[in-house]
Each structure stands twice: as C-alpha cells, then as structure tokens.
Structure 1
Amino acid sequence: MEMDPMRELPMGLGLALCANQQAAACFERMSPEEQRQVVEGTHAIQSPAEMRAYVASLVR
C-alpha cells in the first residue's frame, strides 16, 4: 500500500521538511518504502533539533 505523505507524516517531520527544501525534495523523490522507513526513523527523535538533524541527513 502506498503511503499518503500528507496524511501520515508526523507533524515534526513535516515541519522540518518544510524548513529544509533540499531534504523535502529528496523525500519526494523516494519510493513509498523509503518514505515509510524515514517516517519510522522519527519515532525515537525527542527534540526539534534532533528532527532538524535527521531531516538534514536525507540530503544526498
């Protein structure tokens, strides 16, 4: 089943992606499975600074 990013993104991830356009573009180019893995990777993040660093790591 394909992920609907607009409905399933955690709020913190969505905000961090909005603030980092390069990372947002990378996320948009990912397959649904890759996007799901990124979302799963957010579950242990506990601060906005950690989320920003995680999102910045998406830029390849």
Structure 2
Amino acid sequence: MDEQELPLGLGMALAQRPEAMERFALLPEAERQALIQGAHQVRSRQEMQAYVEKLLTDESAPS
C-alpha cells in the first residue's frame, strides 16, 4: 500500500462520522498526510474509532 493512500480502516471510520470526514477534507495536505501516517500505527477498530474521534475534538483542526 502506498504510504499516502488512505488506509481502509481510516476510510471506514471517517465514513461512519461524516463530520470527521468533512474536517479531514478541510485539513492542509501536510496534516492529512500526518494523520494517514498515524493511522498506519492503529491496530484495532476501537483504536481507529478513537483516532477519528480525536480529529473531532482537536481544537487546532479546522471546523
């Protein structure tokens, strides 16, 4: 898998939270890539859901 490609688990977790998907789409490219890189370290569905939830609670992300 290409390192810049959206991991399946991240894509699925974002699809379940449309507001998180919208926020992810608004991020600058470098921040999106950093989140994708971090998602490669996630090992369970629950962890991925928490990872996406963090995107919604992160005050520095665009709203």
1:32 aligns with 2:29: yes
Unaligned runs of 5+ in 1: 1-6
Report the identity percentage.
37
Normalization by structure 1: what TM-score? 0.83
1:22 CA displacement: 1.2
The amino acid that maps onto 2:34 is: Q
Aligned length: 54
1:55 CA displacement: 0.4
The whole-number CA distance in structure 2 between the counterparts of 1:43 and 1:11 is 10
Unaligned runs of 5+ in 2: 59-63
After superposing on structure 2, the runs of 4+ consecutive aligned residues of structure 1 that deviate more than 4 Å are: none
Normalization by structure 2: what TM-score? 0.79
